[in-house]
Chain A
Amino acid sequence: MKILVISLLRLGDAIMHLKLIDEIRRAHSNAQVDMLVNSEASHIKAISHNIDEVLTFPRKELQRSLANSNECFFNSYDRLKTWVSEINNRNYDMIYDFTNTVLSHNLYSLLATRLSKKDSLASYLNTVFSISKRTSFHYIDAVRNSHASTLKPQELATAELRTNKMISVQPLTSDKKKNWGIGYYQSLIKNLEIEFPDYKIAILGSPFEENVLRSHFSESKNVKIEVLDLVNLEFHLWESDLLITGDTAVAHLAAQCKTPMLAIYCGSADPYKTSPYLKNVYVVHSEEICAPCGHSTDCTQPRHMCSESIRQEDICFIVSYFLKYKIWPDKQFAFHSYLTDSSETKQFLLRDIHDEYASFKNKSRQIYWQQNEVSSIPKISNKFFFELQNTIENIDSALNIVAEFESELSNQLTADSSHSLMSKISEFERYVDDYDLVSLLKNSLKLHTKSDYFQSESDLDLLSKILKNKRMLYQYYCKQLRERGFVDVSGSRELS
């Protein structure tokens, strides 16, 4: 059997697709599996044993020909037609399209096969996934689910803890907006050099990034700029204790090498869609209301707020903590921090560390209250009780705002109602000091303006559920305190 896999996105996507090619190989062990890629990914065979042949789509040649004012349109037309017939002459039995673009869809239709491999979720990929909408699927899971009849998920690999004293840093990405910022990386590397003098630090880059890297980073005894090809990069990543990177091809290659990672996702990088497909990766994401934005479009903000909100000191803390204790910190920061995981159904999962941290704190407090006598709770004061009651009142006010929000959104949005909703968000922020929940409210408005009624309603529904749960929890705390003799705020009695 001859199988062709179409992977016509960037190098990082092609590297991610290798995971699925492994699954194809598992399903068809004796088949010839070829991969169709753009020329920039033509070396991918060197890092995969499961590809028999790599075919290159003449994207650049066609683009050059179409853009040349001295060339005839029929040159490109005939060239593509000839190329398609050459591929068809190879007589593939089965073609998987992992790309899901208008281009790949049409190419897929041009390539004649006896069996076509696309399931019902393929339309989901085309209509929902390819545009900037929130999705609960990781890109790999979404592609796999669209070929669910043949591809079965395997257990997600976990990052390996290593002690080779090597830190790798990939500061640049394919899109300027996805970069955290060279200045931040410079300070981070300087700090790491001082704090971990026994570690080697490799600054990674591709040949076309070398000049930028050399102009911004200086090499020293422990810091080296490494411009490597795919094979050597893979070797290097197998040796690294930690990779600090944005949403890059290197991150996806590191996922294949099970390298522990701190992934800093800014701009168009969407951690839900394209986080490294590996368990126990720490992903940092600044959730500005405009993020994640479209790839290769201009930033709509006056400043690069995505990267500015991720403080260099915090990243330095996370890296230091990991290198010292070999676990990720559960500290709360002013940005989103996630840990990658897998669900019971072997799907990729992004766990919000803040939520886990908060629930951990609440849980441990509950256990503490249940297991100890009143007299042994020394730190709970009337101030805390007052804060609890105040929090419950604030939650009630916030719930009212959510209800008002829902009723406003059920009508047609006008300039006045939009203004009123914006002021409700500010009011909500006064009552709820929780970045996630405010983002959820903001997001429901954002989705609604994009005419996605269903999504905006489900966001509001989720928001009120979370608030109601919080209220129940705080009411429970109050009840517990009352039962233990603390009755009244005005009484100013403190538990001894």
Chain B
Amino acid sequence: MRLVSYEGVLLCSQRDPLKEAERWCLDIPNFSHIIVLGLGAGYHVETLAAKYPQSHIHVFDHRKTLVDSFNSFSKISNVTVKVLDLDKIELDSFFCSENAYKYAKIFYPSVQSNYGQYHKLQKTILARDPLVFEHRAKQSGIDCLNWDKIKKFDEINIKAIYECKSDATQTDPARIIIILRELVK
């Protein structure tokens, strides 16, 4: 028996959770590692695991009861579900690994009461946080940015990156940044 609500919060659609899961999975590209923030009733995780059987799906949720319940009945091999301590989010080895940076999507229905914290976590995972971005950019050899300027941004996107590009640099990373900016103009 699956829980559809927990402590007064609906974990998924009451009418048609499968259709909701399918819609949620629709725009997710095929990555080798996909991070899902929010377990809910788990329908979306199962749908995603079936859509990309070759991918590793890492699910995080702060409610231990839900995680234990899901793990007790689910036997999907490409899914790992872990408990997340929202008060003590740290960049552990998983979140620092290169795989973690690629794709992270929040399952809104199940995390609505803690959305702010999940969003912050997503920002960190996707290197949209200025500090994390700087760390990751230096790893990638991007040396053409004004780091003081970039720290002033709340959230990093291509527009912000382009604005922080040093004008004089004609390096390959600078050229790649210019091309990417041109693509979304």
Interface size class of B (residues with CB under 8 A): 20 to 34
* A74 in contact (CB, < 8 A): yes
Q: In the complex, identify which listed stretch (A59-67, A213-221, A398-406) lies at the interface while the others stay far away.
A: A59-67
Least CB distance, A64 to chain B, in whole angstroms: 8
* B168 in contact (CB, < 8 A): no
Q: Which of A383-417 contact B (CB under 8 A)?
A: none
A106-B178 contact, Cβ under 8 Å, with A70-B126, A71-B103, A72-B127: yes
Residue tally, chain A, CB below 8 Å to B: 27
Chain B 81-119: CB-based contact to A (< 8 A → 1; otherwise 0):
000000000000000000001111110000000000000
Which of A72, A76, A109 is the one whose CB lies under 8 Å from B180? A76
Least CB distance, A70 to chain B, in whole angstroms: 4
A70-B158 contact, Cβ under 8 Å, with A81-B176, A102-B182: no
Which of B29, B140, B183 is the one whose CB lies under 8 Å from A103? B183
Least CB distance, B60 to chain A, in whole angstroms: 14
Q: How long is the Cα–Cα vector from A103 to B182 in the complex, in angstroms?
A: 6
* A321 in contact (CB, < 8 A): no
Task: Check B179–A107 contact: CB distance below 8 A.
Answer: yes
Which of A62, A68, A73, A107 is the one whose CB lies under 8 Å from B156? A73
**Residues of chain A contacted by B27 (CB below 8 angstroms):** 68
Contact count A vs B, C-beta below 8 Å: 83
* B175 in contact (CB, < 8 A): yes
Q: How long is the Cα–Cα vector from A80 to B133 in the complex, in angstroms?
A: 18
* A163 in contact (CB, < 8 A): no
Q: How long is the Cα–Cα vector from A66 to B136 in the complex, in angstroms?
A: 17
Least CB distance, A86 to chain B, in whole angstroms: 14
Chain B 154-166: CB-based contact to A (< 8 A → 1; otherwise 0):
0011100100000
**Residues of chain A contacted by B126 (CB below 8 angstroms):** 70-73
Chain A 411-439: CB-based contact to B (< 8 A → 1; otherwise 0):
00000000000000000000000000000
Least CB distance, A97 to chain B, in whole angstroms: 13
Least CB distance, A8 to chain B, in whole angstroms: 10
Interface pairs (7), CB distance under 8 Å: A66-B180, A73-B128, A73-B161, A74-B136, A75-B103, A77-B176, A110-B179
Residues of A participating in the B interface, judged by any CB pair closer than 8 Å? 59, 62-68, 70-78, 80-81, 84, 101-103, 106-107, 109-110
- Assuming A67-B184, A68-B29, A75-B103, what are 15 further A-B pairs, CB within 8 angstroms? A64-B29, A70-B106, A70-B122, A71-B29, A72-B103, A72-B125, A72-B127, A72-B128, A74-B127, A74-B140, A103-B178, A103-B179, A103-B183, A107-B175, A110-B175
